[in-house]
Structure 1
């Protein structure tokens, strides 16, 4: 896989970029460091023995087909250093809907510093302005207070609660449904 796709977004403290095959080791390290930190919020499906190279190839193909966009977060002060987080805009719908779903994770060592809101705000700007989407949807478990605060800060509006929405760690978990439309976003 030779990734010639280059999108670089800059914030005050971060660089956001598309993943490439050189990130395999860093992605594995990120998952290893954060397995316990992310486990309450992630499905265990497919986590064991993940083929990161195949996953990166799939992500590149989905990007080329306009189905998803994923950004890795790196500190500006150490652009060749560790991946400290990522966000993904998946299931991109075109036609009259012009929408997608947002997901995100940050390294446990970097949470609580405002980096996630800084990164995701920039990525949302890209999705609205460059990808021309109208609506971004994000869902979170009611117990995930950090996600609730992040989405509220970014201007997402609660639309309801989906009962037993996703299978997380062997249990069907309720999720709060939120969305942000282009005209309602926080700049």
Structure 2
């Protein structure tokens, strides 16, 4: 996928240094919004394994771990995953995402996720994309609302984030019929 300012795709194992740089440069920035990470998460081999597992998940139609790159593919701006893919009568996934601290507030995550949702409802043929956020993450809530996600509920102690069970606002976007 391409947007006006980004390239969106899966990484290849030999691109592990791109992922490692993103992870190490944004460790503190992303920490409050992610699960606790092991030291392996911040190693080249750990990044290579993550990429290989992601490619296998995409081949098996279980998850799609996309990265958002600069147009020259020299820097990772953000990442998002369409995970927990369920087919059959559900045709849905969960969307999770993060953006580099130095790229926040530029509209790049909106631009990338707007393209991603079109891809989800087009080639991936999902009917529903779900995305959940912690109530204190107002920026994420505004982003999802701008993308057309609707609040569907509130889950107490839903996910263990940064070592604590956190409440989450549950949202979803359903493909328009027609």
TM range (shorter): over 0.9
Aligned to 1:4: none
- TM-superposed deviation, 1:172: 1.0
Aligned to 1:55: 50
**Which residues of structure 2 form unaligned runs of 5+?**
none
Tell me, in whole angstroms, the C-alpha distance in 2 between the residues paired with 1:93 and 1:114.
30
- TM-superposed deviation, 1:167: 1.2
- Please say if residues 158 and 166 of structure 2, whose CA atoms lie closer than 8 Å, have aligned partners that are also in contact: yes
Tell me, in whole angstroms, the C-alpha distance in 2 between the residues paired with 1:47 and 1:183.
40
- TM-superposed deviation, 1:22: 2.3
Aligned to 1:161: 154
Aligned to 2:118: 125
After superposition, residues 85-164 of structure 1 pair within 5 angstroms as 85-164=78-157
Tell me, in whole angstroms, the C-alpha distance in 2 between the residues paired with 1:165 and 1:131.
27
Q: How big is the alpha-carbon RMSD for the aligned residues of Structure 1 and Structure 2? A: 1.1
**Which residues of structure 1 form unaligned runs of 5+?**
1-8
TM-score using structure 1 length: 0.89
After superposition, what is the alpha-carbon deviation per residue over 1:108-147, rounded to whole angstroms, capped at 9, x for unaligned?
A: 0000000000001101111110011000000000000110
**Correspondence for 2:6 among 7, 11, 14:** 14
Aligned to 1:39: 31
TM-score using structure 2 length: 0.94
Tell me, in whole angstroms, the C-alpha distance in 1 between the residues paired with 2:153 and 2:53.
32
Tell me, in whole angstroms, the C-alpha distance in 1 between the residues paired with 2:143 and 2:164.
24
Aligned to 1:6: none
Aligned to 1:25: 17
Name the structure with the higher helix share: 2
Tell me, in whole angstroms, the C-alpha distance in 2 between the residues paired with 1:170 and 1:107.
21
Tell me, in whole angstroms, the C-alpha distance in 2 between the residues paired with 1:90 and 1:135.
12
**Correspondence for 2:66 among 57, 64, 71:** 71
- Please say if residues 7 and 73 of structure 2, whose CA atoms lie closer than 8 Å, have aligned partners that are also in contact: no
- TM-superposed deviation, 1:23: 1.8
**Correspondence for 1:178 among 148, 171, 178:** 171
After superposition, what is the alpha-carbon deviation per residue over 1:44-80, rounded to whole angstroms, capped at 9, x for unaligned?
A: 0x4321312221111111101111112111122xx13
